[in-house]
Chain A
Amino acid sequence: AQTVTQSQPEMSVQEAETVTLSCTYDTSENNYYLFWYKQPPSRQMILVIRQEAYKQQNATENRFSVNFQKAAKSFSLKISDSQLGDTAMYFCAFMKDDMRFGAGTRLTVKP
């Protein structure tokens, strides 16, 4: 079974700065999908960004971008110009036949 590891339980960043959240995964599959989800205090799960494994180009959504290293099985999330509203739990997820999540990183953006 695929496993997803987020090695940073908590992180903090100053407003307007850049922060990178780490994610590694283990799989023998060649075609799959990777996601980052955000969970604010409201508990709602919100999709941040997704990446298809067959695409070499890193996905970007406004201030959010990923560094996808397929050979290293690494999928980090970079948040640029951090905003107070980015404070949340962030989950990395791997999807093949079903979706598996990492344990999450709690990000705090400080004013």
Chain B
Amino acid sequence: NAGVTQTPKFQVLKTGQSMTLQCAQDMNHEYMSWYRQDPGMGLRLIHYSVGAGITDQGEVPNGYNVSRSTTEDFPLRLLSAAPSQTSVYFCASSYISPGGANVLTFGAGSRLTVL
């Protein structure tokens, strides 16, 4: 199994450019989420989804869009990149089990630099 696959692993953008970080999972997980990791701030939740067609905002959603048209894919879009979006981005997924601890499976991360 591939698990959670993120592409690209590295990306450099200029301010104002747009791009999409791709995330795909092959485990039939209902829950998918995007985090950004910045030094001294841990992982902060950007957006998450509990199933196809359903998305919600996390702690730091501004400047990012998501959609969930299929169970497998959860792309993160930056419409107009800003230097403040320079970060490492992680996609994660899990089953949703009522009453159970939903252990996240993480992708390998994508390092984005905005100049």
Contacts and interface: CB of A to CB of B under 8 A. Distances in A.
Interface of A: 1, 4, 6, 9, 33, 35, 43-45, 47, 50, 52, 91, 95, 98-104
A21 B78 CA distance: 36
A64 B113 CA distance: 36
B103 A91 contact: no
A1 B59 CA distance: 9
B106 A104 contact: no
Contacts of A35: 101, 103
Chain B interface mostly: strand
Given A33-B102, A103-B41, 19 more contacts: A6-B42, A35-B103, A44-B106, A44-B108, A47-B104, A50-B103, A52-B101, A91-B43, A98-B56, A99-B45, A99-B92, A99-B104, A100-B45, A100-B59, A101-B35, A101-B42, A101-B43, A101-B44, A102-B42
B101 A98 contact: no
Interface of B: 33, 35, 40-45, 48, 56, 58-59, 88, 90, 92, 101-104, 106, 108-109
A103 B38 CA distance: 9
Given A33-B101, A95-B102, A9 B40 contact: yes
21 contacts: A1-B59, A9-B40, A33-B101, A33-B102, A35-B101, A43-B88, A43-B109, A45-B92, A45-B106, A95-B102, A98-B33, A98-B56, A99-B33, A99-B45, A100-B45, A100-B59, A101-B35, A101-B44, A102-B42, A103-B41, A104-B42
